Chain A
Amino acid sequence: MNLFLETLIGGLLAGTMYSLVAIGFVLIYKASGVFNFAQGSILLFAALTFVTLLEQGLPFAAALAVTILILILGAILIERTVLRPLANRSPMTLFMATLGLSYVVEGAAQGLMGAQVHALDLGIEDVPIFIGDVLISQFDLVAAATAVALALVLALLFNNTRIGISLRAVADDTRAALSIGINLNRIWQIVWAVAGIVGLVAGMLWGARQGIQFSLSLVVLKALPVLIIGGFTSIGGAIVGGLIVGAAENLAETYVGPYIGGGITPWFPYFLAIAFLYIRPAGLFGERTLERV
């Protein structure tokens, strides 16, 4: 029983790390209907900027503030040069643009900061602790708490501020939002900046665990099954999706793995995602689009 609980809890906690990555996608998808392929590179760029500043001797808080500032400027730049000129184009055009953007961002990161692996120490001990008689990773606990706190802050921001209301309006009906005086360009800047900051938090946590290196941009691939399961349009869905993926892959590795030679973790989430596509194509919390025939 303990093994089961440990596997489950460890999986759930690790799942929140996937949720963190997925939330960045959801924000941008909601506001502009774009699957932002560049989210992974932005995550990498943010984490790399932060660790580089730290290595230059900046204190933690200052490095964080400067990185956030750079992300905000980056969001404004992306909105001006990519989103604004391509406004009203098909989602496929925008997706291709973000594909290109991901290479530009990754190239900029490599050009400016080099390609070596950086270690990031956030001061969280990665030593398991006993809660009752269940062994739990301390780092996972902190990561999970961060993910939950971030989701709460975002929910507060987007539900209670008027800009949050504008954001929901844009997500609901872009044309109507424009006609009533909502500044779409500004909404996009804000959303991309917030998605960048969410990426920074995710990048810091992932980076602290596995080092900040170029493969970090591949955590995007981990977010995909999370989004398919939770739905592309719901922050709550991203969290639940992350939990399901985390728990499922951990349980599968422990209980099914031994029978088929192990190594299930990398592909099991996709298997799960395909199963979900059969049953619930819009995800658990996604919006089902009704089509008029």
Chain B
Amino acid sequence: MNAHPRAVEAAAPILDVRGVSLSFKGVKAISDLSFSVVRGEICALIGPNGAGKSSLLNVLNGVYVPASGEIVFNGEHFRQIEPLAAARRGIARTFQNNALFKKMSVLDNVLTGLARHTRTGFLAQALRLPGARREEAELRERAEAILEFLELQPYRDLTVGNLAYGIQKRVELGRALVSAPTLLLLDEPLAGMNAHEKAEMSEFVFGINRHLGITVVLIEHDVGIVMNLSGHVVVLDYGRKIGDGTPAEVASNADVISAYLGTVH
């Protein structure tokens, strides 16, 4: 399904970024950026440090408010999308430096991700009314399934703050995943991992996309992995788009080569 992203692009863009600009106190972080993400693909955002990748992700789930432009998600037009509204519409995300609830257990962290599926009220839950108990059981089952899928069962009752970094990244992925999102935004899911952990994580991301059918937008520095994993690559430099296409197209783009591969890291 990722073989011909161009062919389906017109058919079903789930996310359409149109002319988005963002600046911090006069410094432009993103200038007039437009691109589309097709339903069911893995789209990678790459570019040198400070190119505006994380800022863009923050615009997509409403943490930053763009100065101009609009975002079309699932047919709905947004000038600005609130984080809560984004989460409710099925945009889930992970953060570059992990934003887990460090004092809570792995299971509880994953359970928090179910907030958008909670229908019963506080009183019903407090009084353990039958409806609330049924919902509770259903949602817990989902959380268990996610723990199983991400091979987190051995850690389920451990406090997240004490776990290895790679495991924490997986817990954060689980918390995002349990909400059954339509669009999953991953900010450097492989950062700080060793080769083995990177391979494992890419496997999970691939599985999430292929088997659960979730559209993924991810930021990653490891170009080798990006080229294998994603069907669509958008390249940013100084807040502008300098490349957009399949990995092969992007890799042969002269602007990309000079801006990205030419930089010494």
Contact = CB atoms under 8 A, between A and B. Distances in A.
A162 B114 contact: yes
Contacts of B208: none
B257 interface: no
A180 B109 CA distance: 11
B100 A176 contact: yes
A175 B63 CA distance: 9
Contacts of B115: 162, 166, 180-183
A284 B147 CA distance: 35
A190 B102 contact: no
B249 to A, nearest CB: 32
Nearest to A168: B104
B134 interface: no
Contacts of A180: 87, 92, 112-113, 115, 175-176, 179
By DSSP majority rule, is chain B's interface helix, strand, loop, or mixed?
A: helix
Interface string B59-76: 001010000000000000
A181 B122 contact: no
A172 B101 contact: yes
Nearest to A169: B112
Given A166-B115, A168-B108, A176 B125 contact: no
Nearest to B160: A172
Interface string A130-152: 00000000000000000000000
A125 B242 CA distance: 81
A292 to B, nearest CB: 12
B116 interface: yes
B103 A162 contact: no
By DSSP majority rule, is chain A's interface helix, strand, loop, or mixed?
A: helix
B179 A161 contact: no
B104 A172 contact: yes
A179 B112 contact: no
Contact of A177 (B112, B122, B179): B112
B137 to A, nearest CB: 12
A179 B101 contact: no
Interface in A168-217: 168-169, 172-173, 175-184, 190
A183 B84 contact: yes
A287 to B, nearest CB: 8
A173 B179 contact: no
Contact of B101 (A169, A181, A190): A169
A166 B111 CA distance: 9
A162 B139 contact: yes
B125 A161 contact: yes
B39 interface: no
A161 B84 contact: no
A182 B126 contact: no
A172 B84 contact: no
A163 B125 contact: yes
Contacts of B84: 178, 181-184
Contacts of A96: none
Contact of B99 (A162, A179, A181, A190): A179
Interface in B79-118: 83-84, 86-88, 92-93, 95, 99-104, 108-109, 111-116, 118
Interface of A: 157, 161-163, 165-166, 168-169, 172-173, 175-184, 190
Given A162-B111, A173-B101, 17 more contacts: A162-B114, A163-B125, A166-B112, A169-B101, A169-B104, A169-B109, A172-B103, A179-B86, A180-B87, A180-B92, A180-B113, A181-B84, A181-B87, A182-B84, A182-B112, A183-B84, A183-B115
For the complex of A and B, the 10 pairs showing the least CB-CB separation, nearest first, are A181-B87, A176-B99, A181-B116, A172-B101, A161-B125, A169-B112, A178-B83, A181-B115, A182-B115, A169-B101
